[in-house]
Amino acid sequence: MAAPEQQSTIASDQTVQPTQLRVVSYNLREHTANGELAALAEASDADVLCVQECDSNDLAPSIGGLSLAASTRTNRLGLAIYKRDDRFEVQDFSIHSLQKSLHDRVLAPAHERLIAMHLRDTEADAEVVVASFHASPLTATNSLRRKQIEAAHQFLRELAKDVPAVMVGDFNYPWFQTNLRRKIEQGGFALSLSDQPTYLRYRKFTGHFDFATSVGLHIAGVETLPAGISDHRPILVRAHYEHPGETGAVTTVEAPAA
């Protein structure tokens, strides 16, 4: 009976492999790291690349095998999503403002803090929503950021109901994440941190600023990638569909600490 079991295992592996999804997120630090995107896309073998703090007027139409699918237009610190054309078809996308902090009202760095895209994954025969998110800075309260995250998750559901979703970006929430995790899980999503801190500029502010929230996807790991010239390190989210085309129960597996 050993041979049939071996054949079944091989068939299962071959079925799961095409559904793997690699999503990279990178805060460009006011667009200064824009020149690193092509190399980052290639080195990470990204399927989707989400960026924050970009200059939308100075983004390349294609980088490292990915094409620019959508970006904000009115932000000083913009958001954008690149994706593989040979794998994904854009079904719809939306851009949203979220509740503003005092910092947002005075300096107006980014009134659009979420860009979400509903994609058809032709390789996996599934649908998925991928979003690039940028929360208000540390001068705002954690309570306000939690409200922004909750609102963003609702926008993802409105864009494509019952479709698996992953939201990546700069959450500006490096401390008291136990409470954040509880709030996110109450809303049906899961929070996944990376294996190493993602912020570098100030020693006292080190922590996991950049991470992922998801629903309907198995998060196999979130890896903090090597630092570039930005004060944020990019992250790579490795995921696969629990049930293609369905939301399903959320399961997350965080990468072990380095």
In one letter, which amino acid is 50?
C
Give a yes or no: residue 15 inside a domain: no
- pLDDT, block means (10 residues), the chain with 258 residues: 37 53 98 98 98 96 97 91 98 93 55 95 97 94 96 98 98 93 97 94 78 97 97 97 55 38
* pLDDT the model gives residue 103: 53
Burial group, residue 118, by CB count within 10 angstroms (0-12, 13-18, 19+): buried
Place of tokens 């990178």: 26
Give a yes or no: residue 24 inside a domain: yes
For 111, phi then psi, to 5°, come to -80, -20
- Reduced to 3 states (helix: H, G, I; strand: E, B; else coil), residue 183 is helix
Q: What is the CA radius of gyration of the chain?
A: 18
Give a yes or no: residue 6 inside a domain: no
> What is d(CA 27, CA 145) in angstroms, rounded to the nearest whole number?
17
* pLDDT the model gives residue 170: 98
> What is d(CA 195, CA 221) in angstroms, rounded to the nearest whole number?
8
Give a yes or no: residue 53 inside a domain: yes
Give a yes or no: residue 2 inside a domain: no
Domain span at 216 = 20-252
Give a yes or no: residue 65 inside a domain: yes
* pLDDT the model gives residue 104: 58
In one letter, which amino acid is 155?
F
- Reduced to 3 states (helix: H, G, I; strand: E, B; else coil), residue 247 is coil
Give a yes or no: residue 11 inside a domain: no
* pLDDT the model gives residue 128: 98
Q: CATH number of the domain that 47 lies in?
A: 3.60.10.10
Domain count, the chain: 1
Q: Is the pTM of this model over 0.75?
A: yes
Give a yes or no: residue 41 inside a domain: yes
